[in-house]
Structure 1
Amino acid sequence: MDAAWHWISAHGVTLASSILLVIDVALRVLAVFVVPRNRRPGSAIAWLLAIMVFPLVGFPLYLMLGKAQLPRKRREKQRLVNRLMHERAEEIPDSDLDQGSPSWLQSAVALNRNLGAFPLTGNNSVDLHIDYDLTIEEMARDIRTAERSVNAVFYTMGLDAVTADFFRAIGEAADRGVTVRLLYDYWGSAGHRRPYKAMQRFLDQHGIEHYPAMPIKPFADGAFQRPDLRNHRKILVIDGKVGWLGSQNVISRDYDKRSNIRRGLRWQETMARITGPIVSEMNLLFATDWYFESDEILAEAELVHPQPDTAGELECQIVPSGPGFVLENNLLLFDQLFYSAAERIVVVSPYFVPSESMLYALITAAGRGVDVELIVSSTADQFLVGHAQRSYYEELLVAGVRIQLYEEPYILHAKHVTIDDFVTVIGSSNMDIRSFLLDMESSLMIGGSDFMQQMRDVEAVYRERSTRLDLETWRRRPFLARSLDDICRMASSIV
């Protein structure tokens, strides 16, 4: 024993170094075979680079964060939901498009139906709202008309001075016997501790059933689960008759964060108030999220209601997306629309870190004469995404894309796309890898030219508050700034 200990003492450093070297080499070799499997080339290269440089850190991180899939139990629920939704969709025909609609719009409808199993519905009305505080007031006003149910899922919810009346309306509804169901993303809400706790206390006092969506329980499913898969949707449905959908959360405009208040940051949003048959489809999408968190399957008869108001003229289709689906539903829709555009594309997004397919679709559109415009914030609330986004500007500007930078200190958090004079997509989805792969998103595709003037008016407001980015000025930015942007671009590919 003494001899063995003496040998270890004499050769321990060499032995440890040899063991680390073997592990180092083994991890690098293993990564070459494991990482690229069913992964985008850009993402695979980024992961491989991280593992090759820091194998003892990079490979464990890959095991924790390398798979964009829901936990096993949630995947089983998702498969059940997908099957039920597709069976239902087979029995419901799509509404007819306007005669003046382009042929490619029917292809987009078919794509969405095959991916998300939601039909195209007609006779809908949509009104846009861009005043942050007034939007919360209007949602509260609709909640006060509720007779049967209020269903809501928001990425961030909190009770503060701005949202107090919203929650009072919810409490009043529950007190008079209306069924109220609330979901809020755990990560998106719990980080705002004071309004989050105040909200939970309020909901409990009124006996309202509520759940944090996607709670972080790394080992609850028998194996480590990726913690950054989030429910990023923003949906409110009252009685299955009135719906709200868009980019805005239910919290004060500065998100009750000291750093935002210190910097003077304020969020600018676009929300859609919707009536017509599509609201029942929104209710069904909410029901899938409710099932994930509560284990309760809501009856279709409780969710789908005959619409008293079918005077609208818009065709609408819900587009759900997220890690529970086989493909990236939102990305495929955006790419299809960008390649179909003949005259004009306007993209409004707070976070623009596109996939290669989306980047090429926009560059190709500009190259064939389509007027392509990107409206984004001049300042960013997220360091990595903000710098990664900037790395794409020169390439887009060279291709002929116009880039508008929304005025500081506002964060343009609105998320919508218009194609020619026929199609709008509005919802919670950003134009970045997170929204395509990791976040559960809700988008609404609106067909027809009748709605386009509302969108053009909103785009005009955002354009008036923006400054157009000049290529030569952008090229003169400091070398260190460009290098930081490029590094963040590479890091953003690690998903």
Structure 2
Amino acid sequence: WHAFSRRGVLRKLIEGTELAERSKELLAEQPAKLEKLVDGPMGDYGRVASMLWATARAPLTFDNTLEILQDASEKYPRLTTDLANARQSVHLLYYEWASDPFTEQIADILIEKVKAGVEIRILYDPFGSFSMLSWSYIRRLRAAGIQMFPFAPLYHVHTLSYRNHRKVAVIDGRIAYSGGLNMTDKHLTGPEGFKGWRDTHARVTGECVLTLQSVFATMWHNMTGENLFQEEYFPERPANRTGVPIQVVSAGPDSEWKAIRHSYLAMLALARHHVYLQSPFLIPDDSLAEAMKTQALAGLDVRVMIAPRGGEMSPAYRAGMTYAVDMARAGVKVLLYEGAYFHSKTIMVDSMVSSIGSANIDIRSFAINYETNLVIYDERLTRELEDDFEADERHCVPFSVEEYMSRPVASRLADSMARLCSPLL
């Protein structure tokens, strides 16, 4: 939770409590944990963790398990089971929350848990959920005793562009989910014109759950004024240093540093053999674009997998094609995912360090939205993600500069016009 105590606001919320003492211990043990990571098998790749602690105060945690969940068909059954087994609290934070058959099933589970005494809190983004979520659904949950509120209501004009793009669930302060999947039946079926929905999420237990709990508690306090920084929501765990090392990296428009962007830059800089990236959009800022191109020009195997189109007519896909040209000319292998709609947001470096999160490779995710990524310092899990990446390649076609330049001038001009809006897409 210390990672989110900007300007001392949250420090005051825990002042005089047991959490204050635990926060001090967390601070004190970070130098030793960071040194242990660098001195171990992770070597120089562990310096990413040192950078993220320095810039974002993202604590490095060791006592964790992580399960990679590919697609909603893997995440949703795990999540519904964990929700049904909740005993004390359920905290859900999502960009998109729909009213559909899947979320009606979720509503039924949550209403039964409220009857059993479980506290349920939901934050949804009203922009992401605008055409998906009905007032009757919200009223039904509220009438049952579930606290469900929008993050940054659309009538707050001064925060209209600052969206919560996170997809986080925390159950009893002991199990958490984070990644790219929202709460909608669309993720099971795919949008119109697609055969499905391709995405990546993670289920975690251990120390890092408390950091994800603090992400929710911070946003909840900002929206409702209720202080969730209480011991009951942050259960202590026995000390264990043998799990998966993970950092929860969060960033937003109020962050001093663009920490998620910095994590990508640091991982690219430390790469020695290959870098695999996945994102529906490809709208990097100049520094990230140069880093990707420089490593490809230096002979590294740099591959980026993107969505060539979406279920909606977003100019972001058109702008991405102009960046794909620049990347491909520098030797970056740009892969266009076909069939299902592509929505994964991952990066893997040299089979050593990786990340799963909500942030796209675009300026909005790195500077404007509220985002959360899990940075994973584990060879086995990174190799698992790389194996999944290589499996995804079977559904891709390589981007061709020659084919793109043969398209009608009007089409390419429209792409270039979309690129002018890149900072807002």
Would you say same fold, with TM above 0.5?
A: yes
Structure 2 equivalent of residue 100 of structure 1: 41
Tell me if 1:338 matches 2:275.
no
1:143 maps to which of 83, 104, 118: 83
2:146 maps to which of 208, 219, 241: 208
Tell me if 1:450 matches 2:380.
yes
Tell me if 1:321 matches 2:251.
yes
- Following superposition, the deviation at residue 306 of structure 1 comes to 2.7
- Following superposition, the deviation at residue 472 of structure 1 comes to 2.5
**Does structure 1 retain, via aligned residues, the 8 Å contact 2:122–2:148?**
yes
- Following superposition, the deviation at residue 265 of structure 1 comes to 6.7
- For residues 458 and 82 of structure 1, the distance between their equivalents in structure 2, rounded to whole angstroms, comes to 39
Give a deviation string over 1:194-218, Cα, whole Å, max 9, x none.
x432431231132011211111233
Q: Match of 1:287, as an amino acid?
A: A
Structure 2 equivalent of residue 184 of structure 1: 124
1:90 maps to which of 27, 32, 35: 27
Structure of greater Rg: 1
1:248 is paired with a residue whose SS is coil
Q: Match of 1:383, as an amino acid?
A: S
Structure 2 equivalent of residue 242 of structure 1: 175
Q: 1:458 to 1:309 in 2, by over 3 A?
A: farther
**Does structure 2 retain, via aligned residues, the 8 Å contact 1:150–1:239?**
yes
1:285 maps to which of 199, 215, 218: 215
Tell me if 1:412 matches 2:353.
no
Structure 2 equivalent of residue 168 of structure 1: 108
- For residues 325 and 487 of structure 1, the distance between their equivalents in structure 2, rounded to whole angstroms, comes to 30
Q: Match of 1:144, as an amino acid?
A: A
Structure 2 equivalent of residue 392 of structure 1: 323
- Following superposition, the deviation at residue 416 of structure 1 comes to 0.8
- For residues 131 and 451 of structure 1, the distance between their equivalents in structure 2, rounded to whole angstroms, comes to 17
Give a deviation string over 1:309-348, Cα, whole Å, max 9, x none.
9696310001010011122121122112111111111110
2:160 maps to which of 220, 223, 227: 227
- Following superposition, the deviation at residue 102 of structure 1 comes to 2.5
Q: 1:92 to 1:285 in 2, by over 3 A?
A: farther
- For residues 306 and 82 of structure 1, the distance between their equivalents in structure 2, rounded to whole angstroms, comes to 19
Q: 1:255 to 1:110 in 2, by over 3 A?
A: same
**Does structure 1 retain, via aligned residues, the 8 Å contact 2:268–2:291?**
yes
Structure 1 equivalent of residue 398 of structure 2: 468
- Following superposition, the deviation at residue 452 of structure 1 comes to 1.7
1:356 maps to which of 286, 290, 295: 286
- Following superposition, the deviation at residue 289 of structure 1 comes to 0.8
- For residues 480 and 341 of structure 1, the distance between their equivalents in structure 2, rounded to whole angstroms, comes to 39
**Does structure 2 retain, via aligned residues, the 8 Å contact 1:314–1:447?**
yes
2:185 maps to which of 247, 252, 276: 252
**Does structure 2 retain, via aligned residues, the 8 Å contact 1:276–1:310?**
no
- For residues 176 and 383 of structure 1, the distance between their equivalents in structure 2, rounded to whole angstroms, comes to 43
- Following superposition, the deviation at residue 165 of structure 1 comes to 2.3
**Does structure 2 retain, via aligned residues, the 8 Å contact 1:136–1:166?**
no
- For residues 388 and 163 of structure 2, the distance between their equivalents in structure 1, rounded to whole angstroms, comes to 28
- Following superposition, the deviation at residue 424 of structure 1 comes to 0.8
- For residues 201 and 423 of structure 2, the distance between their equivalents in structure 1, rounded to whole angstroms, comes to 29
Q: 1:450 to 1:256 in 2, by over 3 A?
A: closer
Q: Match of 1:209, as an amino acid?
A: Q
Give a deviation string over 1:189-245, Cα, whole Å, max 9, x none.
1321xx432431231132011211111233xxxxx6141210111100111111110
1:110 maps to which of 45, 50, 58: 50
Give a deviation string over 1:405-429, Cα, whole Å, max 9, x none.
1113x22111111111111111100
Tell me if 1:402 matches 2:339.
no
Structure 2 equivalent of residue 269 of structure 1: 199
Structure 2 equivalent of residue 121 of structure 1: 61
- Following superposition, the deviation at residue 308 of structure 1 comes to 6.6
1:250 is paired with a residue whose SS is coil
**Does structure 1 retain, via aligned residues, the 8 Å contact 2:180–2:358?**
yes
**Does structure 1 retain, via aligned residues, the 8 Å contact 2:319–2:422?**
yes
**Does structure 2 retain, via aligned residues, the 8 Å contact 1:159–1:167?**
no
Structure 2 equivalent of residue 74 of structure 1: none
1:180 is paired with a residue whose SS is strand
Q: 1:299 to 1:493 in 2, by over 3 A?
A: closer
**Does structure 1 retain, via aligned residues, the 8 Å contact 2:189–2:195?**
no
Q: 1:296 to 1:190 in 2, by over 3 A?
A: same
**Does structure 2 retain, via aligned residues, the 8 Å contact 1:159–1:198?**
no
Q: Match of 2:40, as an amino acid?
A: Q
- Following superposition, the deviation at residue 92 of structure 1 comes to 4.2
1:450 is paired with a residue whose SS is helix
Aligned residues: 408
Give a deviation string over 1:36-71, Cα, whole Å, max 9, x none.
xxxxxxxxxxxxxxxxxxxxxxxxxxxxxxxxxxxx
Give a deviation string over 1:131-183, Cα, whole Å, max 9, x none.
32442222010111111111110111123112332222222211100111111
2:134 is paired with a residue whose SS is helix
- For residues 188 and 367 of structure 2, the distance between their equivalents in structure 1, rounded to whole angstroms, comes to 25
- For residues 353 and 99 of structure 2, the distance between their equivalents in structure 1, rounded to whole angstroms, comes to 36
Q: 1:146 to 1:494 in 2, by over 3 A?
A: closer
- For residues 240 and 338 of structure 2, the distance between their equivalents in structure 1, rounded to whole angstroms, comes to 39
- For residues 397 and 233 of structure 2, the distance between their equivalents in structure 1, rounded to whole angstroms, comes to 45
Q: Which runs of 5+ in 1 are unaligned?
A: 1-76, 219-223
Structure 2 equivalent of residue 58 of structure 1: none
Q: Match of 1:401, as an amino acid?
A: V
Q: 1:163 to 1:353 in 2, by over 3 A?
A: same
Residue identity (%) = 26
State the Cα RMSD in Å.
Answer: 2.5
- For residues 188 and 67 of structure 2, the distance between their equivalents in structure 1, rounded to whole angstroms, comes to 25
Q: Match of 2:148, as an amino acid?
A: H
1:442 is paired with a residue whose SS is strand
- For residues 371 and 120 of structure 2, the distance between their equivalents in structure 1, rounded to whole angstroms, comes to 22
- For residues 290 and 92 of structure 1, the distance between their equivalents in structure 2, rounded to whole angstroms, comes to 28
- Following superposition, the deviation at residue 459 of structure 1 comes to 0.9
- Following superposition, the deviation at residue 448 of structure 1 comes to 2.1
- For residues 394 and 67 of structure 2, the distance between their equivalents in structure 1, rounded to whole angstroms, comes to 21
